[in-house]
Amino acid sequence: MGSFIELAAADGHRFAAWQAAPQGKARGAVVIAPEIFGINSHIRAVTDGYAADGYLAIAPALFDRVQRNHETGYAPADIQAGVAIMQRIDFDDTLKDVAAAIAHAAGAGRVAIVGYCWGGTIAWLAAARLSGLAAAVPYYGGGMPNYIDETPKCPVLCHFGERDKSPSPAQARALLARHPEVAAHFYDAGHGFNCDQRDSYDAESSRLARSRTLAFLAQHVG
Reduce the DSSP state of residue 198 to 3 states and report it. coil
State pLDDT tens for residues 75-87: 999 999 999 999 9
State pLDDT tens for residues 9-67: 999 999 999 999 999 999 999 999 999 999 999 999 999 999 999 999 999 999 999 99
> Is the full-model pTM beyond 0.95?
yes
At 15 the pLDDT is: 98
State pLDDT tens for residues 79-136: 999 999 999 999 999 999 999 999 999 999 999 999 999 999 999 999 999 999 999 9
132: region left, alpha or beta (phi > 0 left; psi from -120 to 50 alpha):
left
Reduce the DSSP state of residue 139 to 3 states and report it. strand
**Pairing label, strands 14-20, 157-161:** unpaired
- pLDDT of 186 > 90? The answer is yes
Tell me what the mean pLDDT of segment 147-168 comes to.
98
**Pairing label, strands 157-161, 56-60:** unpaired
**Which run of H or of E encompasses 28?**
none
Integer Cα distance of 80 and 183 in angstroms: 32
**Pairing label, strands 56-60, 111-116:** unpaired
Q: Is 220 an active-site residue?
A: no
In CATH terms, 3-220 corresponds, of 3.40.190.10, 1.10.3720.10, 3.40.50.1820, 3.30.70.1560, to 3.40.50.1820
Q: Are 157 and 181 in contact (CB under 8 A)?
A: no
At 208 the pLDDT is: 98
173: region left, alpha or beta (phi > 0 left; psi from -120 to 50 alpha):
alpha
At 68 the pLDDT is: 97
What's at 72, amino acid-wise?
T
One of 117, 154, 158, 195 is an active-site residue; which one? 117
Give the confidence band of 1 by pLDDT, cuts at 50, 70, 90: confident
Q: Are 122 and 128 in contact (CB under 8 A)?
A: no
Q: Is 191 an active-site residue?
A: yes
- pLDDT of 178 > 90? The answer is yes
| Residue 207: other Cβ atoms inside 10 A | 11
Q: Are 86 and 99 in contact (CB under 8 A)?
A: no
One of 191, 195, 202, 220 is an active-site residue; which one? 191
One of 48, 64, 97, 164 is an active-site residue; which one? 164
- pLDDT of 198 > 90? The answer is yes
| Domain locations in the chain as residue ranges | 3-220
Read off the DSSP letter of residue 171: H
Q: Backbone phi, then psi, for 150, in 5-degree steps?
A: -70, 140
Beta bridge partners of 185: 159
Q: Is 159 an active-site residue?
A: no
